[in-house]
Chain A
C-alpha cells in the first residue's frame, strides 16, 4: 500500500449510471483504477461500459470484495449512501457530491471514525496515486509518478499546482483533496501522518485557504512531528473580511483563520510559503 490506495485497490462506484458517476467512472477506468462493480438501485443486472457489473445495492456489491467506494449521488441521498457503505464495512469512503448538509456529514464522519473507516470529502476531488489508482475527479493527464505528496482543500487549484509540479520535471507520490465543506472526513494532520509514513513521499505540499483553523493546527503538527520538507500555498489573501467566496471554508471570522495567521503559523513551523501557485516547484527543489 502506498497512500490509502494502490494498484490492487478494489473500487465500487455508488451511482455509476448517473451523469457524473458514469463520466468519472469512465475516466477512472482509463487511469487504470480497478473498478469491480457499480451500484444503481433498480438497474442491477446491467453492465457499465460492457465490463463493470452494475448491482442494486452495496450489500450485493460486497460479493466483489471492494476496499473503497466513490459516492456520486445527489446531496439529499448522500447520507443514506454513505451509511450503506459504512454499514457494509467498506474501509475507504469517498464522497464526490457537493452541497451535502453538514449535519449529515457530521454523522457520517463520526460513525466512520468509530468503525475505523476513512472518509474523504464531501465536496472534494478525491485521491490520485500516479501509476497506481485514482478515485475521484482529478484530470488524468496532469500527473507523473514522483516523490511529492499534495494535500489540498480545493479542486481546480490542486490541479493548477500539480500541473506546475509535473511541468517542472518533478512528479507526485499521492494527491489528496480533503474537500471544501465545513465538515469533511480527513484533516491535514490525518494526511500528514500518511505522507510521513509513505516511503515514496520525499516532500510535501499543503494547499490551504482562509477560514477555520485547520492550517494552523497542521503547522503545529509539522513543527512537532514531520521530518520531510513541506511547502504551503494559501489562497484567499485578497479576500475582504466577511465576504464569502464560494467555499464555506473560506469565511474570515473575526481575524481567526486569515491568510496572514496561516502564513505566519507555517513560517514559524519552518514551512516555505509560496506567493503564487507557480512558485511551488521552485521551493520544493
Chain B
C-alpha cells in the first residue's frame, strides 16, 4: 500500500463492520452464484456489490417478491456490467418498510485535522444535492471524541422526536467508534432509514479505510477495484504507480516532483504514459524493477527525472544501466540527474552511452521531441 491511500469497502463489508459494532442493518447475506441463494421467505432487495453511487438508477438494485423473482434477479445481476464494472457479488437483504430517509456521515476534515459529523433529515439522495440550510455539520475534537451532546445538537437540527432521537444518537456513538477504531477516512449511511415500525436502520454503508493503518487491521484483505492489473502489480511491489494514456514512460522520485514532471510534459504537449514515484531508495534493484513496470506499459520513450536526496544519483544510474542490460531496452531513455551524487551518476551513465541532463526542462523538451519521432 502507498502512503496515505484509502480503500473503499463494498457495502456488505461495511455492513459487517456496522453489525460488529452494533449498528442496526437489515438482515441479509452475500452470494457469488445463484445456486447459493437461500430459500425465499419474505420480500427482498438484491443489491449489486460495486463501488458506484447511484446503483439503483443504473439497474444495479432489484426487488424480489417470490423465489422465482429472487433467482432471476440474482442471475441477471451476477456477471452483469454496470457502468464498466462487473458484478461478482450480490447482497440479498430483507425489504424494509420505509417511512423516511435520513443522511449521516463522519469524515476527516483535512484543514481542521479533525473528524466532521454531517447529518441531514433529507437523505436518500447525494448529499451534494441537499441545500446547505438542511445540513448539520460539526467538528469533533479527536481528543474528546464523540459524546451525546453532539448527537443532541444534531437530533434537534433534524427535528427528531424523542424515540427517533434516542435511536439516532445510539447509532452516532457507534458510528464514531467505527470511524476511530477501524481507522476510517469516511463512514457514511445514506440512507439512514426510519421504518414504518419506528425503527432506525442503516440501509446502506459506505466505509473508506486508511490503508496506512492496515498493520493493525490484518483481517482486511481486499484489492482496490479501481486499479488496473499493472497498478495492482506495482502496488504489490511497493511503487506508487498510476497508468495514464500517453506514450512517455515516467520514472521520478517523490510524489510532488513526479507530478511536476507530468505537468511539465503535458504543458510541452507531451503525453505521459504513467506516474511512477520511486520514493526514497538507495537500492539499485528497486530502480531496475521500476523499469520492468514501465516497460509493461509499453511506452515509446522513457523519461527518468531524479533529484537526489535519500535516493542517490549513482544508485539510480546503476539501476538504469542494469535495467537496460537485463530487459534489453532499445527504446530511447532520457535521464535528468541532479542532487546527491549527481556527478558520479552522470559518469556511470555516460560510460554506458546514456546522456544525462542536469535540468528537468532540457530532459522534458528532449523526451517530448523523441516521443514525436519514435516509431
Residues of A that sit less than 8 Å from B by CB: 20, 23, 75-76, 98-103, 105-107, 109-111, 114, 123, 125, 137-139, 141-142, 152-160, 163, 180-184, 187, 207, 209-210, 212-214, 217, 233, 235-240, 243-250, 254, 275-278
Contacts and interface: CB of A to CB of B under 8 A. Distances in A.
Interface in B108-143: 108, 110-111, 113-115, 128, 141-143
B205 interface: no
B360 A160 contact: yes
Interface in B250-289: 252-260, 262-267, 272, 275, 277, 280
Given A139-B339, A250-B255, A245 B242 contact: yes
Contact of A217 (B108, B111, B183, B210): B111
Nearest to A211: B110
B256 A156 contact: yes
Contact of A100 (B110, B180, B212, B244): B212
A25 B267 CA distance: 39
B101 interface: no
Given A106-B114, A106-B142, A238 B256 contact: no
13 contacts: A102-B185, A137-B309, A156-B309, A159-B309, A159-B339, A163-B338, A236-B259, A239-B259, A246-B240, A246-B275, A249-B110, A276-B361, A278-B359
A204 B339 CA distance: 23
Given A75-B215, A111-B143, A278-B361, A213 B111 contact: yes
Interface string B70-104: 00000000000000000000000000000000000
A246 B258 contact: yes
A182 B110 contact: yes
A157 B257 contact: yes
A118 to B, nearest CB: 14
Interface string B1-40: 1111110000000000000000000000000000000000
A278 B307 CA distance: 14
A172 B110 CA distance: 29
A156 B5 CA distance: 20
B340 interface: yes
Contacts of B242: 243-245
Contacts of B142: 103, 106-107, 110
Contacts of A233: 260
B216 interface: yes
Contacts of B319: none
B255 A160 contact: no
Given A155-B256, A156-B253, A245-B242, A102 B262 contact: no
A283 to B, nearest CB: 16
Nearest to A98: B3
Interface string B156-179: 000000000000000000000000
B310 interface: yes
Given A156-B307, A182-B108, A277-B360, A237 B263 contact: yes
B298 interface: no
- Most A C-beta atoms less than 10 A away, residue of B4, B128, B280, B361: B4
B212 A247 contact: no
Contact of A207 (B212, B216, B256): B256
- Most B C-beta atoms less than 10 A away, residue of A103, A138, A153: A103
B256 A154 contact: yes
A238 B265 contact: yes
B183 A250 contact: no
Contact of B360 (A123, A240, A243, A278): A278
Contacts of A110: 113-114, 141-143
A180 B3 contact: yes
Contact of A114 (B108, B143, B244, B310): B143
A246 B143 contact: no
Contacts of B265: 238
A213 B309 CA distance: 29
A76 B307 contact: no
Contacts of B213: 101, 103
B105 to A, nearest CB: 14
B180 A182 contact: no
Going nearest first, the 3 A-B pairs with the smallest beta carbon separation are A248-B4, A154-B256, A156-B254
A102 B212 contact: yes
Nearest to B254: A156
A245 B210 CA distance: 16
Given A106-B115, A247-B4, 19 more contacts: A99-B3, A102-B212, A103-B183, A109-B113, A156-B254, A156-B309, A160-B338, A163-B307, A180-B255, A182-B4, A209-B255, A209-B259, A217-B111, A238-B265, A239-B262, A245-B277, A247-B3, A249-B110, A276-B264
